[in-house]
Amino acid sequence: MGQIRQMLDRQQGRVSFHMPGHKGGYPFGGAFDVTELPGTDDLHEPAGPYLHLQQKAAHLCGAACSFLLVGGSTLGVEAMLLSVLKPGEAVILPRNAHVSAWSACVLGGFRPLSVYPRYEADGPEGYAEEDFMRALEEHPEARALLVTRPDMYGRCLPLDRIARRCREKKVRLLVDEAHGAHLPFLKGMDGAPASAGALGADMWCQSLHKTLPALTQTALLHLRDEALFPRAKAALRLLETSSPSSLLLLSAESALEEMEARGAERLALLRARIDAFAEALDLRFARCIFPGMDPLRLTIDVRNAGLSGYEASARLAEKGVDMEMADEKRIVGIPSIENGEEDFRRLAEALESLPGGSAPKETERIQAYGEPCMDLREAFFSEKKWVPLKGAAGQICGAAFGLYPPGTPLAAPGERITKELAARMQRAMEQGCGAFGTNGKGEVSCVIPR
């Protein structure tokens, strides 16, 4: 039994005039949701079971030291940028980085230098190694480079050369590995990509809750070098709740213990399940395989249903099968070791129930991001108004908005909203995709010109 579990067991039967207000009576795990007490550990100053689990996480993931997070990779990405940059410094960002990277730029006053994705023949927008190598040459002023790896489709960019060049140029390499908490446990699996820690990243973060059996919000932040520890700790103090839930931390412990004990074996079984599922896939559909891909990501091209991915995903949801993400052509699932045969059977059945048809008109290759025209921070802190998305072309974005998932801002603060961007977002929302940054009435936040 893990140390956190033992610590929490020792707290049972006490009388609490302390937080939390549910006093252990909350029916869904409340007994394990205790706060900082004389007999428990404190995540911000860990000295007992939390420290032990952080050390275990560092050992398992190849880090010099690690932090347990209860604010997801959102917190991890923000903390990474705040750990290595000073106000006014520049960071090279994939333009489709998660919104947390843009939030960190607002918080810290960092200057984002966007690398725009490519649109290749039959893949979703993405990047090649050269894109970041070139950005490093073009921007000698950059102090950090963020890479999202794996991306939503499981694509893992080769990192070795990028990491070497970053070291030569004294640029910190940060990796958003939100979708790759399982990568350290794929070691030895044929064709499986390595985790960023083995490839020279300075800092990387992983959402435990995305691909491992852990509660939502649990994540890890890893450091290659202990020298970064004080800044990372200060950044977490700045951003993270002062009352982290021990229930969440218990679930992180249970997930890491399971992965340590049986991870490799259970991931191999999962891979076999996914491969068998893909082989038996209805002939109208195709599993998408990309170079350097995480073998445990499941992306399916659904165009032959005559539907966009958003529409197909909405129909699967009506059948009780929820996918993680969709785009104009595909649906994306995040299978985990907790998905059994029955889940794959229900997914196959739901897919079979989709209609047949000819592929909808292709529009995804239109470059649909805002155009930078104002300082990001100035835009965020300026007076703003809500503007209907339909009429927002030409306005300057005041607060990031986009589709959710994947949580990439189509417009970041300080970018001019284009007609294409507004149309892409509108279309996806009409087809059932979620959004962030709107006010629920289809309006987005725009800067009021002075």
Would you tell me which residues interact with ligand PLP (CB under 6 A)?
72-74, 77, 98, 100, 148, 176, 178-179, 207, 219, 405-407
Residue pair 126/112 in contact (Cβ under 8 Å)? The answer is no
User: Minimum Å distance from CB 109 to ligand PLP?
Assistant: 21
Nearest residue (CB) to ligand PLP, 72 versus 263: 72
Nearest residue (CB) to ligand PLP, 176 versus 240: 176
User: Minimum Å distance from CB 77 to ligand PLP?
Assistant: 6
Rounded CA gap, 40 and 21, in Å?
17
Nearest residue (CB) to ligand PLP, 177 versus 328: 177
The pairing of beta strand 90-94 with beta strand 111-115: parallel
**Alpha-carbon 251 to chain mean position:** 19
Which amino acid, 256?
L
Nearest residue (CB) to ligand PLP, 148 versus 382: 148
Nearest residue (CB) to ligand PLP, 34 versus 68: 68
Task: Please give the DSSP secondary-structure letter assigned to residue 154.
Answer: -
Which of 449, 437, 439, 369 has the alpha carbon at shortest distance from 399? 437
User: Minimum Å distance from CB 299 to ligand PLP?
Assistant: 14
Nearest residue (CB) to ligand PLP, 74 versus 418: 74
Q: Give the C-alpha distances (Å, rounded to integers) separating 52 from 3, 44, 55, 67.
A: 8, 13, 5, 11
Rounded CA gap, 246 and 26, in Å?
14
User: Minimum Å distance from CB 207 to ligand PLP?
Assistant: 3
User: Minimum Å distance from CB 175 to ligand PLP?
Assistant: 10
User: Minimum Å distance from CB 402 to ligand PLP?
Assistant: 12
Nearest residue (CB) to ligand PLP, 127 versus 344: 127
Nearest residue (CB) to ligand PLP, 70 versus 307: 70
User: Minimum Å distance from CB 40 to ligand PLP?
Assistant: 24
User: Minimum Å distance from CB 349 to ligand PLP?
Assistant: 27
Nearest residue (CB) to ligand PLP, 70 versus 302: 70
Residue pair 63/223 in contact (Cβ under 8 Å)? The answer is yes
Which of 440, 365, 433 has the alpha carbon at shortest distance from 403? 433
205 forms beta bridges with 176, 221
Nearest residue (CB) to ligand PLP, 96 versus 395: 96
User: Minimum Å distance from CB 87 to ligand PLP?
Assistant: 23
User: Minimum Å distance from CB 152 to ligand PLP?
Assistant: 6
Task: Please give the DSSP secondary-structure letter assigned to residue 126.
Answer: B
Task: Please give the DSSP secondary-structure letter assigned to residue 302.
Answer: -
> Helix, strand or coil for residue 153?
coil
| Long-range residue pairs from 3-6, CB within 8 A, at least 24 positions apart, any chain | 3/48, 3/49, 3/52, 3/53, 3/253, 4/41, 4/49, 4/50, 4/53, 4/246, 4/249, 4/250, 4/253, 5/250, 5/253, 5/254, 6/49
Collect all residues with Cβ–Cβ distance below 8 Å to 299 and sequence separation of at least 6: 153, 154, 287, 288, 330, 331, 332, 333
The C-alpha angle with vertex 368 and arms to 363 and 369, in degrees rounded to 5, equals 165
